[in-house]
A and B are shown apart, each in its own frame.
Chain A
């Protein structure tokens, strides 16, 4: 048991957990976005712990850098209340705990049942060149398709949101 890894892991995990909870419970919209940043950054950290450096940094750049900025724009453009006066959770907040808890329980049982003693089989970090090799050989078509999808989404978003 490598202590450093575990420490890092648990620290990051705790932070992420708190951040996630706060995303869904805070009354301040901007705070929610910032908590999301925390979660995503924590996620990047987890990726590094897992030896997946490429996706870690891509997550930071794309997710935090672009997507979150997009969210902030959205908040701004929809004139969301930037103060924490009224509660931002609707009347389903009690009832919604049911599926949440149910799913959590079920998944946890499954996972614990299946993978309880499995140690992480990572031997060495996966290098970017392997990743890219994989993308451009085996998964070339999905890659291209995703590119096309992105293009389509981009155009779609522009079309939808333009003022005419």
Chain B
């Protein structure tokens, strides 16, 4: 197996996630896309860690995981708040800063 396999896979997942962040009409789906990006990063980290036979890849992947969990928690709380205030979970409707 080549290292590049994993890395390119991770790139693909990352870009997919990025696309989702930009285009999805539901805030929860945007958060899901962010999770996708984080998963891609995890694969990257672990691949490198494996390549160098160093547990640090896993360790950081663990941290990323934890932080992702925290982020999802807070993010969803915010989504709920926005929903309560605007009765919509469409990110396009949160345009108060519109110039």
Contacts and interface: CB of A to CB of B under 8 A. Distances in A.
Task: Consider the complex of A and B and state whether they touch directly, i.e. have CB atoms less than 8 Å apart.
Answer: yes
Interface of A: 1-2, 5-6, 9, 13, 16-17, 20-21, 23-24, 29, 32-33, 36, 39-40, 43, 46-47, 49-52, 54-55, 58-59, 62-63, 66-67, 70-71, 73-75, 77-80, 87-90, 92-93, 96-97, 99-101, 103-104, 107-108, 111-112, 115-123, 126, 130-131, 133-135, 138-139, 142-143, 146, 149-150, 152-154, 156-158, 160-161
B22 A96 contact: yes
Nearest to B13: A20
Contact of B46 (A55, A77, A78, A92): A55
Classify the secondary structure of B's interface with A.
helix
Contacts of B31: 71, 74
Nearest to A156: B74
A140 to B, nearest CB: 11
Contacts of A5: 1
A80 B1 contact: no
A157 B31 CA distance: 15
15 contacts: A17-B16, A23-B20, A24-B19, A29-B28, A36-B35, A39-B39, A63-B68, A74-B76, A80-B28, A88-B25, A103-B15, A126-B50, A139-B59, A142-B63, A149-B66
Nearest to A123: B53
A107 B14 CA distance: 10
A70 B76 contact: yes
A32 B65 CA distance: 20
Nearest to A134: B55
B32 A122 contact: no
Contact of B11 (A40, A111, A117, A154): A111
Contacts of A142: 63
Q: Give the 3 A-B residue pairs with the shortest CB-CB distance, closest first.
A: A24-B20, A153-B70, A96-B22
B25 A90 contact: yes
Contacts of B12: 17, 20, 104
Nearest to B65: A62
Interface in B1-52: 1-9, 11-20, 22-29, 31-33, 35-36, 39, 42-43, 46-47, 49-52
B62 interface: yes
